[in-house]
Structures are given as structure tokens and as C-alpha cells.
Amino acid sequence: MKGKYGCVCFAVPKNLLRHLADKSEGAHKQMLLDQIDHSAQLRGARAATSAKGTARPERGTKPLHRQVFDAQGQTRLPGALLRHEDGKPVHDNPAANQAYDNLGIALAFFSEVFGRDSADGAGMRIDASVHYGFGFANAMWTGEQMVVGDGDGRHTHNIAGSLGIIGHELSHALSQHLIKGGLGVVLAADQPPQLEGEAGALNESFSDICASMIKQWHAGQDVHQADWLLGEDILAEHAGHAVRSLKDPGNPKLTWPEDDQIKDYKRFKPSQEPHTASGVGNHAFYLAATELGGRSWESLGLVWLKGYQKLQARSTYVDAARATADAAAEVHGKDSKPHQAVRAAWKAVNVTA
């Protein structure tokens, strides 16, 4: 059978990696630049696997079925099995235990808030490999499993310990199974599959929004207590404060120097990198959530999930605005406060008039 094409989706954007490389010299600079090229190679490998056809994801045997592997600094996946569901914490390997715990939190959120049995809705087992590559300053969903690097040791660190980063990547698995064909996944002759255009930006935005809700849900925070940041715990102090902000996308005082995220649809360009353009959707969610107050996942969690279920592989921001507004009317009632807040938020970021 023909397998699904899933993007190899990274949490740390290319522009930030280039920025960190510019702050480095010699071999360290080249290592970071090579990691940007490595992402394209991984996408190509994923495309070859998908074209041959893959088996359906393995169904877990327990409610939260996880397995964590050790890639041992190599790039061959998955590596040596370290911990399976209900297994004891791994001695002297905090990254394995952190990844295991954070995956469990994200899966519990999917279950309790979304009513969804794992990422595919059918109880698929989630595999993750830690200690991927040498100084790998990223985490990713490969279309089949999660991969987590240790950070480059100078600018980035403790990636497995970041609930936001892990939640972001696992949410790519969710959107992969929500939307047939993969939201924004573009296939071109002799090119690896990649996220592009408005649909690609919507894909990245969904992961950021889910990750933010997962963080808030786990901490028991309301919308005013939340920091609305992603990756605030993986950057060294000199490198920046966070990878992205939903409250004010592109504000370097909240994120990192040269952050190019946009929050106004009028600034969107089809050639923009999906992480850059995802700020439009991120900010719309933030505006709607803060207008409503309370807990974001209670007011808007199902709204965004049901809204995204209405999208197709090439959907636009206008499509997403209409879909989430319709979902708000379905979940909370037509002309309810959430319905009005969602419509007003998309108008505020200039997606709708």
C-alpha cells in the first residue's frame, strides 16, 4: 500500500540556526550549518520510505504507549531501546526520562482535552529517539517517530526537557493524521517533501498552539498567567529568550535577535518559511484566548481541533478562519462569546475583513 507523506518537521527554524551559526566560528559554525542541510536529507529519506509504502502505525497496548530509544550520537534510527511504557526510569540518562515524561503529558492532554487516543486517534505507539546526532540543536517529527537532539552545548541545551518543544513535535503527528495528504506538505519531482505556503504555516501554527495549551494545562495556568512562549527553556542566555512567542510574534525582546515571525497577514508572502508565517495563526489564537480569559484549552481547545479537522492539504488562512469560527459556533453556540472572539481575532490579524 502507498504510505502517507509526512513532513520532517523541526521545532527550531532554519533562520534561528543560521543566526546561531553566525554567532559561532570554525568547526562549531560548520556543524550548525550542516544541520540545516541535514534536514533536507532527512526529508528525502522520509520521502523514499513513504514512496515504497509503510505499514500502519503500531497500536499501543496501553493507554499511553511510549518507547524511548538511544540514538547514541548517531543518525540511524531508532537506536537502542531504553525505556518502554511503565518501565523504570533510566539510570544516568535524564534525557530519556524527560522525553518519556513530556510525551506522557502531551498524550494525556490529547486524551483528556481532545478526547483523542494518541496522535492518530487509534492508539498508535509513540516512539522517540534521544541523543540524536552530534550536537544536534533541534527536535523533529519524522512522519513516523520523534527525534530529539541534545543541543549544540553552546547556544542550545536540554531539548528533551522542554515540554513545549516535545508538545510541538507530537502535535505534528496529530495534524498529520487529522488532514489527508498532510497540511502544507508539498511534493516536487526530485525534491524531498516539505512544508510550504499558507498551509505549511497553518501546520506549524497548529503545533505551536497545541504546545502552548499543553504547557498551560500541565501548569494549571490561565491565559494571563501563561508566558505564551515556545522553547524558552532551550536557549542559552546569550542566544535569546525563546524560539517563538504567540503573544507578540517577531518581538526580539521576547524571543531572539533577528526573529522574523509575522503576526499580520498583510505581511505574508508565499515564499516565507512556514515558521515565519505561522505567527499569524499563533497570534489569532492568543487574541481569542485572552479576550475570553480563563483557561485556553477549555474555551478553544476543541474549537481549534474541530476547525483543523475541516481543513484540506492546501487550505489557506482564510479557510482556517472560517473553519475555526464555524467550530466555535458548533462547540459553544452561534454568536456565543467564543464564536465572536474567534471571528474578531482573525479580523485583528487581517485574515478576514
Q: Which residues contact 147 (CB under 8 A, 6 or more apart)?
A: 71, 77, 128, 129, 132, 139, 140, 141
How far is the C-alpha of 155 from the C-alpha of 21, rounded, in Å? 9
Question: And the C-alpha cell for 326?
Answer: 464555524
Q: Could you tell me the CA-to-CA distances from 249 to 92, 229, 263 in Å, in that order?
A: 38, 10, 6
Residue numbers annotated as active site: 169, 275
Backbone angles phi, psi at 292, to 5 degrees: -80, -30
Question: And the C-alpha cell for 198?
Answer: 499558507
DSSP-derived pairing of the beta strands 185-186 and 66-70: unpaired
- Judged by DSSP in three states, 71 sits in coil
How far is the C-alpha of 319 from the C-alpha of 224, rounded, in Å? 29
How far is the C-alpha of 207 from the C-alpha of 281, rounded, in Å? 11
- Helix residue ranges per DSSP H, the chain: 14-22, 26-52, 94-112, 163-178, 197-219, 274-277, 279-292, 296, 302-309, 317-332, 337-348
How far is the C-alpha of 81 from the C-alpha of 228, rounded, in Å? 34
Cα atoms found within 13 Å of the Cα of residue 132, Cβ hemisphere only:
28
Q: Which residues contact 113 (CB under 8 A, 6 or more apart)?
A: 213, 217, 297, 301, 302
Asked if 176 contacts 118 with a C-beta cutoff of 8 angstroms, the reply is no
Count CB neighbours of 1 within 10 A: 7
